[in-house]
Amino acid sequence: MSVHQATCTAPVNIAVVKYWGKRDTSLILPTNDSLSVTLDQDHLRTVTSARADESFGTVDAGSLQDRLWLNGQEETIKPGGRLDACLAELRRLRAEREKADPSLPPLSRWALRLCSENNFPTAAGLASSASGFAALAVTVAELYGLSETLSRSELSKIARRGSGSACRSVFGGFVAWDMGQQDNGDDSLAVPVAEREHWPDLHVLICVVNDGKKGTSSTSGMQRTVETSPLLQHRIQHVVPERMQRMRDAIQQRDFGAFTDLTTADSNNFHACCLDTAPPIFYMNDTSRAIVHVIEELNRARRDSGEDPIAAYTFDAGPNAVLYVREKDMSTVLGVVCHYFPDASFDDPFQLQVSAGLPALPPSFRTDIVPVHPSGSVRRLIHTRVGDGPRVLEHGCGAHSLLNEQGLPLRS
Amino acid sequence: MSVHQATCTAPVNIAVVKYWGKRDTSLILPTNDSLSVTLDQDHLRTVTSARADESFGTVDAGSLQDRLWLNGQEETIKPGGRLDACLAELRRLRAEREKADPSLPPLSRWALRLCSENNFPTAAGLASSASGFAALAVTVAELYGLSETLSRSELSKIARRGSGSACRSVFGGFVAWDMGQQDNGDDSLAVPVAEREHWPDLHVLICVVNDGKKGTSSTSGMQRTVETSPLLQHRIQHVVPERMQRMRDAIQQRDFGAFTDLTTADSNNFHACCLDTAPPIFYMNDTSRAIVHVIEELNRARRDSGEDPIAAYTFDAGPNAVLYVREKDMSTVLGVVCHYFPDASFDDPFQLQVSAGLPALPPSFRTDIVPVHPSGSVRRLIHTRVGDGPRVLEHGCGAHSLLNEQGLPLRS
């Protein structure tokens, strides 16, 4: 008897033109286009194993009892919820295939066991829903044999039902999410803008900022912005459409100066709309702002010396900074960040070492732009780079499986 | 020989629809209307004495040598600068009067001595340019005998040339600054919206926030916003015009709920535009944001109990919160602020006492909305209320004069 199982990975993505606001909260249709950079799965990824088996329960025996374990903890799959919506759509497509080819095993009629693990700790402060739902969609599509007939953009629509930004994690490199126009969401999907190989020296430094406060969830926050912010309407109608085109151009031309200006402007524009919400939403804190001051001053001093800027910052729905830096400049940026925000936990896969004191900097750099912060204000640094799209690790229950032979998590 | 001198006071004003951006930086013509509440001069004010004397120098003897002392320090009057522009316009109006009535002493041909003092310390964190330039314009107009023929709105245009928001300090109560349309600024002036007596129980609590950082000056900051923020254009064209009308209505109707919603929304909208600037401008810090969280939660809990909100917050170009609170609610707001931000310096002219612990609050108030902050996070509290317009204290060199008989500062 063969085991019907697949194991795949999917990457994290960080938007440089932000998604904020839904025009349809059930189908997860956004109010504007967005564009992201995929991070390298060698460093940050979700791995998911999905198995279908008659012994797990069948449609004929009553309602299906799919089960999911996330980082070792079993989660409840809420009927009609986002996960359920993704699985229902994948199952529907599988059922169509089974109808067309009755020789196929009736996987669509069997319950699923799903096991998913992030290789980055929750403490990394990264949203895991994008890589998580992308890995889920890719893995179940692989299990169901849909990958030959279902394009990645089609698959992105299914991932989107789980978490909007997950649709961008079904591709590698630079990825756009076209908001689409249709009410049923059929044209709201991810499309590749450029492969990772197009701009391979684009590296990323994630600065995980210490923050004791409870944040506002992005799901509830973005709808409050849609309902109350007059500025968001301007962002949606005027700012983003123009910025998307300029961002595509900057990426095509590997124009780091333009990429930096657009990325920082869009991060600030997004947080401005959060602040314009009633009641206002604040994701950046004083440490986030100090990082902005340092990077802006670095960029100013570089431009003052006739050079390109050195780093683009962007902030998602939290206080952590994500910096885009070219490989050649990373040791400088790292040295500066570690000087002003000392004692961050850091284990660099690229083996960069941080020396004490500031690195060589352009002469006009004002070293007193912010004070040296208390130890641990930035509590962790993660160095990665632009990466590829989801990977199929194996079919069947082999060395990569997260499920044991009985269909239970190997680790818990 | 009579002394040609006048001494007047002018109040501080705090905008509830903010001024941010000039369409003409020389004439100080704004990009949008604004509206402010005048604070009580019994607590916060600038006093100015102005004297003209032939012995100080005359036009006939060469260039005029006006002199100015500000809080005891002599300041340089820059030719062609803002102060010079105000004085030149007042002198021109005086010269017209002298031409029409040759019996008048030729004050326009004599140098001026000006002495100005704020009764609030710089440590109060309040901008003194509004009350300062309003006091200057009113006092010199009084000295020159212009007050009978020059309306207060006409005078506001002269104060505007010194500092935009100063034009609103020539009236008491609730004051609008009409941006005007003319290129020469002739219709960009202040007009009264309502007298203080219209809403006398509107009290004010200024929370002076501890902040080690250098800020961005509002003069340079606002022009950077004009040049780089796409959201500011939307604010100017759509948000403020509608909000001005609603704010006038809220004040006319003494509708504290609407007043609160509009005031907080406009403060947040203004700071959102600062954040949307390249590089971004941050005036609020983590303590400012914690004050916002506490006040928003208080207002939510009050509304949850079927009551009006309790306080409207607004932030100018700095981290300090200004809270508008009705007199009956001030002890509650004060108790809450002192609980979460302990040990602020406070000497209440209204004799309110702060007890230990939280006052009685609506049942749904979540006490853990922010932690109790470190001692001195808010370092000073100032309790005042809506106030009247500039006051003429005396003509001649009497008990109120800041200048001695020789035309030098009494205090230095």
Q: CATH number for the domain including A159? A: 3.30.230.10
Question: Which residues, including other chains, have CB under 8 Å from residue A116's CB and lie 6 or more apart?
Answer: A46, A47, A48, A49, A68, A69, A70, A71, A132, A135, A136, A402
Say if CB A144 and CB A95 are below 8 A apart: no
Radius of gyration of chain A (CA): 22
Helix axes A152-162, A82-100, angle to 10 degrees: 140
Cβ-based contacts of A277 with chain B (< 8 Å): 268
Q: What pLDDT band is residue B1 in, cutting at 50, 70 and 90?
A: low
- Tell me how far apart the alpha carbons of residues A163 and A389 are, in angstroms, rounded to a whole number: 17
What is the share, in percent, of chain B residues with pLDDT greater than 70? 98
Say if CB B357 and CB B401 are below 8 A apart: no
Sheet strands (E) in B130-287: 174-178, 189-194, 202-209
- Of A145, A174, A196, the last residue of a domain is A196
**H helices present in A183-236, as ranges:** 218-228, 230-234
User: Which residue out of A268, A287, A366 would a mutagenesis test of the B interface target, given it has the greatest number of B Cβ atoms within 10 Å?
Assistant: A268
Tell me which residue of A45, A59, A167 sits closest to A109, measured CA to CA: A59
Residues B129 and B172 in one domain: yes
> In terms of C-beta density within 10 A (0-12 exposed, 13-18 middle, 19 or more buried), how is residue B76 classed?
exposed
Residues B77 and B179 in one domain: yes
Residue of chain A whose alpha carbon sits nearest to that of B295? A279
| Segment B203-219, tens digit of pLDDT | 999 999 987 666 788 88
Residues B160 and B230 in one domain: no
Residues A75 and A154 in one domain: yes
**What is the average per-residue pLDDT within B302-306?**
96
**What is the average per-residue pLDDT within B259-275?**
98
Position B388 scores a pLDDT of 98
Cβ-based contacts of A370 with chain B (< 8 Å): 213
In a domain, B70, yes or no: yes
- Of A132, A162, A196, the last residue of a domain is A196
Sheet strands (E) in A131-228: 174-178, 189-194, 202-209
Task: Indicate the residue of A212, A239, A292 with minimum beta-carbon distance to B230.
Answer: A239
Say if CB B129 and CB B165 are below 8 A apart: yes
Structure-block tokens of residue B217: 């000056």
In a domain, A410, yes or no: no
| Segment B49-60, tens digit of pLDDT | 999 999 999 987
- Tell me how far apart the alpha carbons of residues A69 and A81 are, in angstroms, rounded to a whole number: 16
User: Is the pLDDT confidence value at A393 over 90?
Assistant: yes
User: Is the pLDDT confidence value at B125 over 90?
Assistant: no
Cβ-based contacts of B265 with chain A (< 8 Å): 276, 278
Tell me which residue of B90, B78, B231 sits closest to B157, measured CA to CA: B90
Position A215 scores a pLDDT of 74
User: Is the pLDDT confidence value at B62 over 80?
Assistant: no
User: Which residue out of B214, B225, B232, B275 would a mutagenesis test of the A interface target, given it has the greatest number of A Cβ atoms within 10 Å?
Assistant: B275
Distance, first Cα to last Cα, chain A: 27
Angstrom distances, CA of residue B346 to CA of A71, B203, B314, B323: 52, 16, 20, 15
Question: What integer best gives the mean pLDDT of chain B?
Answer: 95
In a domain, B276, yes or no: yes
Cβ-based contacts of A231 with chain B (< 8 Å): 231, 234-235, 239, 269, 272-273, 276
Structure-block tokens of residue A374: 């208390």
CB–CB of A268 and B276 under 8 A? yes
**What is the average per-residue pLDDT within B171-197?**
98
Nearest-CA distance B156 → chain A (Å): 31
The string over B376-396, giving b where at least 16 C-beta atoms fall within 10 Å of a residue's C-beta and e elsewhere, is ebbbbbbbbbbbbbbbebebe
**What is the average per-residue pLDDT within B257-274?**
98
Structure-block tokens of residue B88: 């030149």
ipTM score of complex: 0.92
Residues B184 and B277 in one domain: no
In a domain, A356, yes or no: yes
Number of domains in chain B: 2
- Tell me how far apart the alpha carbons of residues A121 and A146 are, in angstroms, rounded to a whole number: 31
The number of residues in chain B equals 412
Nearest-5° Cα angle at B16, B15 to B19? 50
Q: Regarding predicted confidence, which is higher, A408 or B61?
A: A408
Question: B371 preceded by cis ω (within 30°)?
Answer: no
Structural domain boundaries enclosing B220: 202-385
In a domain, B410, yes or no: no
Position A214 scores a pLDDT of 65
In a domain, A104, yes or no: yes
Tell me which residue of A387, A381, A386 sits closest to A347, measured CA to CA: A381
In a domain, A390, yes or no: no
Helix (H) / strand (E) containing B86: helix B82-100
Question: Which residues, including other chains, have CB under 8 Å from residue B393's CB and lie 6 or more apart?
Answer: B7, B8, B9, B47, B400
CB–CB of B278 and A272 under 8 A? no
Q: What is the CATH number of the domain that holds B211?
A: 3.30.70.890
Q: What pLDDT band is residue A91 in, cutting at 50, 70 and 90?
A: very high
Q: Work out the number of other CB atoms within 10 angstroms of the CB of residue A404.
A: 12
In a domain, A394, yes or no: no
Tell me which residue of B386, B387, B391, B388 sits closest to B138, measured CA to CA: B391
| Segment A278-332, tens digit of pLDDT | 999 999 999 999 999 999 999 999 999 999 999 999 999 999 999 999 999 999 9
Cβ-based contacts of B285 with chain A (< 8 Å): 286, 289
Residues B254 and B190 in one domain: no
User: Is the pLDDT confidence value at A16 over 70?
Assistant: yes
Question: What integer best gives the mean pLDDT of chain A?
Answer: 95
- Tell me how far apart the alpha carbons of residues B344 and A106 are, in angstroms, rounded to a whole number: 71
Residues B339 and B381 in one domain: yes
Position B296 scores a pLDDT of 98
Residues A212 and A143 in one domain: no
User: Is the pLDDT confidence value at A62 over 80?
Assistant: no
Residues B173 and B209 in one domain: no
Question: Which residues, including other chains, have CB under 8 Å from residue A47's CB and lie 6 or more apart?
Answer: A7, A8, A9, A116, A117, A119, A135, A393, A400, A402
Say if CB A287 and CB A210 are below 8 A apart: yes
Beta strands A321-326 and A311-315 are antiparallel
Position A123 scores a pLDDT of 63
Residues A137 and A253 in one domain: no
**H helices present in B126-239, as ranges:** 129-143, 152-162, 218-228, 230-234
Cβ-based contacts of A272 with chain B (< 8 Å): 231, 272-273, 275-276
- Tell me how far apart the alpha carbons of residues B50 and B48 are, in angstroms, rounded to a whole number: 7
3-state helix, strand, coil in chain B (%, to 5): 35, 25, 40
User: Is the pLDDT confidence value at B241 over 80?
Assistant: yes
- Tell me how far apart the alpha carbons of residues B376 and B373 are, in angstroms, rounded to a whole number: 8
Residues B222 and B275 in one domain: yes
User: Is the pLDDT confidence value at B229 over 80?
Assistant: yes
Residues B155 and B262 in one domain: no
Number of helices followed by number of strands (H, E) in chain A: 9, 17
Tell me which residue of B278, B262, B281, B276 sits closest to B324, measured CA to CA: B262
Position B123 scores a pLDDT of 63
User: Is the pLDDT confidence value at A124 over 70?
Assistant: no
Helix (H, G, I), strand (E, B) or coil at A6: strand
User: Which residue out of B211, B262, B282 would a mutagenesis test of the A interface target, given it has the greatest number of A Cβ atoms within 10 Å?
Assistant: B282
Residue of chain B whose alpha carbon sits nearest to that of A294? B279
- Would you state the torsion angle of the CA atoms of residues B193, B197, B200, B204, taken in this order, to the nearest 10 degrees? 50
Sheet strands (E) in A20-129: 22-24, 29-30, 34-38, 45-52, 67-70, 73-75, 112-118
Angstrom distances, CA of residue B411 to CA of B115, B133, B396: 10, 20, 18
Position A213 scores a pLDDT of 67
